[in-house]
């Protein structure tokens, strides 16, 4: 909600304010779009298009809502539009959409506290070493599941379990952060 204050209402849309909002939200929206499309290039296009649509329709933006969830609504519509035109369909059911939205909303609350990515870095440091190294190998060194498992000398199943635990732990940590710091 806090970001909304930067938007002048009932006035000609302010480009600078919009740029500030875009700067604040673009990366979490990219992450959101990536969760939908599972593909980084498509998500960039979708988020770009969504910002342009938002800019065109800024006057319809309801100031009582928060910018992040409004943008995610547009991103979802852009993603559906893309899905219709694409031969490759990624099925994301409504339960998952709800989970994504719930997380994203919570993380929007971190914007004024340095943003979700800053918080994520802190949380990463709190991970136990065995989980942290799994995350490093899989996400940051961009190894495949099997390669990461080989590097860490564990079975594929163990790696999957560690990654799942790491994701759960990070999610809890971010949640705690957004609750405590708001």
Partner 1 sequence: MKKENQMIDALLKEHARNKCADDSDFLKSLEGRLDAEENIISVIKPSVKRRGYGIAAGVAATLVVGAIGVAHFTRDAGFGEQIAMNEIPPTISEGLGEGASLAREHTAPTGVKEEIRKQADQKPKLLSNDVVPDKFASGGGMQTRSSAEIRIEGASATLDSQHLPSMRSKIGKGAMPRGGENTHYHFYRNLGRSPKGQSVIGDRYGALTDNAFKSPWKDPLSTFSVDVDTASYANVRRMIQSGNVVPKDAVRIEEMINYFAYDYPQPEGKHPFSVNVETASCPWNEKHRLVKVGLKGKDIIREKRPATNLVFLLDVSGSMNRQDKLPLLVDSMKILLKELNADDSVSIVVYAGAQGVALPPTYVNDAGRKAILKSLESMHSGGSTNGGAGITLAYKMAKKHFVKGGVNRVILGTDGDFNVGVTGDESLVNMVEREAKSGVFLSVLGFGQGNLNDSMLEKITNKGNGNYFYIDSLREGRKVFLDDMMGNMVTIAKDVKIQIEFNPSKVSSYRLIGYANRMLKKEDFKNKLIDAGEIGAGHTVTALYEIVPGNAAEAAPEVDELKYQENKPQPKPVGRKVVDSPEMMTVKLAYKQPEATKETESTYFSKAVVDGKKTWQQASEDFKFSSGVALFGMLQRQSEYAGQGNYALVRKLAEHGRGEDEKGHRTEFSDIVRKLK
DSSP 163: H
Closer residue to partner 1, CB minimum distance, 15 or 126: 15
Instruction: Extract long-range pairs of 51-57: CB within 8 Å, 24+ residues apart.
Output: 51/22, 51/26, 53/78, 54/18, 55/13, 55/18
In terms of CB distance, is 65 or 155 closer to partner 1? 65
CB of 58 to partner 1, least distance (A): 9
Closest distance to partner 1 from the beta carbon of 5 (Å): 15
Q: Which is nearer to partner 1, 83 or 154 (CB)?
A: 83
CB of 150 to partner 1, least distance (A): 19
Q: How many CB atoms lie within 10 A of CB 20?
A: 14
Nearer Cβ to partner 1, position 81 or 112?
A: 81
Q: How far is the CB of 117 from partner 1 (least distance, A)?
A: 4
Nearer to partner 1, 35 or 154 (CB): 35
Q: In angstroms, give the least distance from the CB of 166 to partner 1.
A: 9
């Amino acid at each position: 909600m806090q970001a909304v204050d930067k938007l002048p209402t009932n006035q000609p849309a302010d480009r600078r304010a919009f740029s500030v909002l875009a700067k604040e939200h673009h990366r979490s929206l990219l992450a959101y779009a990536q969760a939908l499309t599972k593909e980084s290039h498509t998500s960039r296009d979708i988020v770009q298009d969504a910002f342009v649509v938002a800019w065109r329709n800024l006057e319809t933006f309801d100031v009582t809502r928060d910018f992040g969830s409004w943008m995610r609504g547009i991103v979802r519509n852009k993603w559906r539009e893309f899905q219709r035109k694409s031969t490759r369909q990624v099925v994301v059911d409504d339960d998952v959409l709800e989970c994504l939205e719930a997380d994203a909303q919570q993380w929007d609350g971190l914007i004024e506290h340095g943003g979700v990515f800053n918080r994520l870095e802190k949380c990463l440091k709190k991970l136990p070493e065995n989980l942290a190294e799994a995350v490093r190998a899989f996400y940051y060194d961009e190894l495949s599941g099997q390669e990461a498992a080989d590097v860490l000398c564990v079975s594929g199943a163990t790696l999957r379990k560690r990654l799942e635990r790491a994701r759960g732990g990070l999610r809890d940590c971010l949640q705690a952060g957004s609750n405590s710091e708001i």
